[in-house]
């Protein structure tokens, strides 16, 4: 074990891990926004919209995330869509996780007892009002855990964008192999840094979950 | 206003669930201030009928009228949505499983509709909630969350929530069926009190004794049709149809 090497690379790797955090946050924001939209489609009364939502989920869950990243980054320019690696990575990861998050959101909404919507409607609330004031506040609580699982998968999945040379944690690790020939030390440090990020995220999710649970 | 006009009128109500005809052309009306109890075997369509009155179920045929306004009138989607939300504000509904909003406390359960739908000021709405809770004997629970209440208390809050919209009619779908036996009376008491205040009510129930005590008229349904109706006295003492007799006998024998 080359302790001196570890001491040398840690500052650089922490920097790279920060890029991973930024990438995760951006794709998470995009993912949540798209997921909310797709979940709405999935829950719509209009068959065509429901179909569109289901198609989105099937396509993005039914193909490897790596291929989605390649398709956008390498295939995009061919049809006039061009992004920097970081942007391409964030967008592809965001669109991918959105398919999973949409299902988590939809699951939360569907887990709220049907009687809640009926009680709201019977008081004279419209469908949107019932959703907003009665169903969603209860669904939100039920979504936190599954969305948290999605977010953890997203953070770990960011490693994939190393393949399109986004200078994040995994890419940085690979680059150091060439100059040091110490893959054990390098990947061990890398793994520990991912674990710290995931652990931090897990703590956050726990807090959110407890904050909501305490409300009712 | 025409006081002889029925408060609720149902004409030729038909409803299918897939191939199953659940309501086979039901006619009945409820006069202003009248209390109608609907009884009948499980699956006879009582809930479906009650839920058609406030359009939680959409009829496949027939008409429902509330105080001279057709509930299930043909309108384009948007206009109908506005229309039905207005109609529902005038009909309180009480469910077997209470359906209180668990994320809101008792006060908020009662005030959310008056505040959001009628634009009532918060302080006024809270005063209203207190008044309604007083009616159902739960003023001290105003700040409790539903999870802290017994079944009977939950149902009384649900009644208070419906009353806070000052509805013209109250619809009850087996309001006491989900309750432990010792909690039934407190809910029945509240309903009797409403009866004494001349609230128009349609009460779907399995409790024959309560129906006999509180109703002005009893409607017996079986297989999606009204088999017999009459005053509680004639209905329970002297049922005319064989179907009614066998149903009542089964009930008396437990
Ligand atoms: N949403 C639905 N989809 C399909 N069938 C339904 C639906 N709701 C009710 N039914 C069927 O319609 C029939 C009438 O049901 P309904 O709930 O109105 O009966 P009920 O008289 O209220 O019975 P209970 O005394 O058990 O509450 C039953 O056969 C029931 O299975
Ligand atoms: Mg029923």
Distance in angstroms (rounded) separating the CA atoms of residues A165 and A86 = 8
pLDDT for res B253: 67
Cβ pairs A/B, distance under 8 A: 61
In eight-state DSSP terms, residue B37 is E
Percent of chain B with pLDDT over 90: 93
What is the rounded distance in angstroms from the CA atom of residue B98 to the CA atom of residue B100? 6
Q: Are A208 and A151 in contact (CB under 8 A)?
A: no
A216 with B85: Cβ contact below 8 A: no
Counting as low any pLDDT under 50, the low residues of chain B are none
B56 close to A (CB below 8 A):
yes
Mean of pLDDT values over A36-63: 96
Ligand 1 within 6 A of CB of B22: yes
Q: How far is A209 from chain B (nearest CA, A)?
A: 14
Which residues on chain A are in Cβ contact (under 8 Å) with B162? 122-123
Partner-chain residue, chosen from A120, A124, A133, that has the shortest CB–CB distance to B89: A124
Domain hosting A29: range is 3-213
ipTM computed for the complex: 0.94
Q: Is residue A216's pLDDT more than 50?
A: no
Given this model, what pLDDT does residue B4 score? 79
CB contact under 8 A, A216 and B89: no
Q: What pLDDT, on a 0 to 100 scale, did the predictor assign at position A182?
A: 87
Number of folded domains that form chain A:
1
Q: What is the pLDDT of residues A161-197, one digit of tens each?
A: 999 999 999 999 999 888 888 889 899 999 999 999 9
**Cβ distance B40 to B221 under 8 Å?**
yes
CB contacts, 8 Å: A131 with chain B: none
Query: What pLDDT, on the 0 to 100 scale, is given for residue A143?
Result: 94
DSSP H/E element including A21: helix A3-42
Measuring CA to CA, which residue among B67, B90, B55 is closest to residue B167? B90
CB contact under 8 A, A125 and B116: yes
Q: Which residue of B102, B147, B165 is in closest CB contact with A123?
A: B165
pTM: 0.89
Q: In the predicted model, is pLDDT for residue A2 greater than 90?
A: no
The answer to whether the Cβ–Cβ distance between A133 and B116 falls below 8 Å is yes
Q: What CATH number is associated with residue A48?
A: 1.10.3720.10
The predicted pLDDT at position A180 comes to 83
pLDDT of residue A25 exceeding 50, the answer is yes
Q: How far is CA A188 from the centre of its chain?
A: 24
The CA distance from A206 to A214, in Å, is 12
B179 lines ligand 1 (CB under 6 A): no
With a 6 Å cutoff on the Cβ, whether B42 touches ligand 1 is yes
- Residue B217: strand, helix, or coil: strand
Residue closest via CA to ligand 1's atom 22 equals B47
B126 touches chain A (CB under 8 A): no
Contact between B35 and B80 (Cβ < 8 Å): no
Residues of A in contact with B88 (CB under 8 A): 121-124
What is the spatial distance between Cα A67 and Cα A46, in angstroms, rounded to a whole number? 31
Question: Distance, in angstroms, between B89 CA and closest chain A CA?
Answer: 5
Radius of gyration, alpha carbons of chain A: 21
Closest chain B residue to A137 measured between Cα atoms? Answer: B103
């Amino acid at each position: 074990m080359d302790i001196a090497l570890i001491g040398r690379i840690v500052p650089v790797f922490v920097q790279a891990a920060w890029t991973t955090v930024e990438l995760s946050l951006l794709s998470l924001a995009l993912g949540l926004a798209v997921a909310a939209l797709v979940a709405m489609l999935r829950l719509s009364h209009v068959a065509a919209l429901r179909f569109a939502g289901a198609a989105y989920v099937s396509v993005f869950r039914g193909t490897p995330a790596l291929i989605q990243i390649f398709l956008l980054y390498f295939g995009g320019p061919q049809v006039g869509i061009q992004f920097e690696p970081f942007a391409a990575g964030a967008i592809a990861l965001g669109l991918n996780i959105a398919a999973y998050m949409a299902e988590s959101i939809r699951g939360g909404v569907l887990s709220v007892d049907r009687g809640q919507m009926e009680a709201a409607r019977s008081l004279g609330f419209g469908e949107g009002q019932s959703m907003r004031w009665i169903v969603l506040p209860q669904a939100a609580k039920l979504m936190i855990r599954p969305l948290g699982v999605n977010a953890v998968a997203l953070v770990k999945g960011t490693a994939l964008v190393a393949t399109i040379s986004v200078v994040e944690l995994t890419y940085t690790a690979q680059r150091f192999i060439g100059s040091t020939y110490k893959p054990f030390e390098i990947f061990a440090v890398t793994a520990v840094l991912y674990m710290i990020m995931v652990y931090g995220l897990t703590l956050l999710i726990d807090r959110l979950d407890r904050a909501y649970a305490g409300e009712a | 206003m025409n006081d002889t006009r029925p408060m609720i009128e149902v004409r030729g109500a038909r409803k299918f669930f897939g191939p199953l005809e659940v309501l086979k052309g039901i006619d009945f009306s409820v006069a202003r201030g009248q209390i109608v109890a609907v009884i009948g075997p499980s699956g006879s369509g009582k809930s479906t009928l009650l839920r058609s009155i406030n359009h939680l179920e959409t009829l496949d045929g027939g008409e429902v009228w509330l105080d001279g306004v057709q509930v299930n009138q043909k309108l384009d989607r948007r206009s109908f949505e506005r229309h039905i939300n207005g109609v529902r504000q005038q009909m309180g509904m009480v469910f077997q499983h209470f359906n209180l909003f668990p994320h809101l406390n008792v006060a908020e359960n009662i005030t959310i509709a008056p505040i959001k739908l009628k634009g009532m000021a918060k302080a006024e709405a809270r005063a209203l909630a207190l008044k309604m809770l007083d009616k159902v004997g739960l003023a001290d629970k105003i700040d409790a969350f539903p999870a802290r209440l017994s079944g009977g208390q939950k149902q009384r809050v649900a009644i208070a929530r419906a009353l806070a919209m000052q509805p013209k009619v109250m619809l009850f779908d087996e309001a006491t069926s989900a309750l432990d036996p010792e909690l039934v009376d407190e809910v029945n008491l509240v309903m009797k009190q409403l009866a004494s205040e001349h609230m128009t009510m349609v009460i779907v129930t399995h409790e024959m004794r309560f129906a006999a005590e509180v109703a002005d008229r009893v409607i017996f349904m079986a297989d999606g049709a009204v088999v017999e109706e009459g005053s509680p006295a004639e209905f329970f003492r002297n049922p005319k149809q064989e179907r009614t007799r066998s149903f009542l006998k089964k009930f008396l024998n437990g």
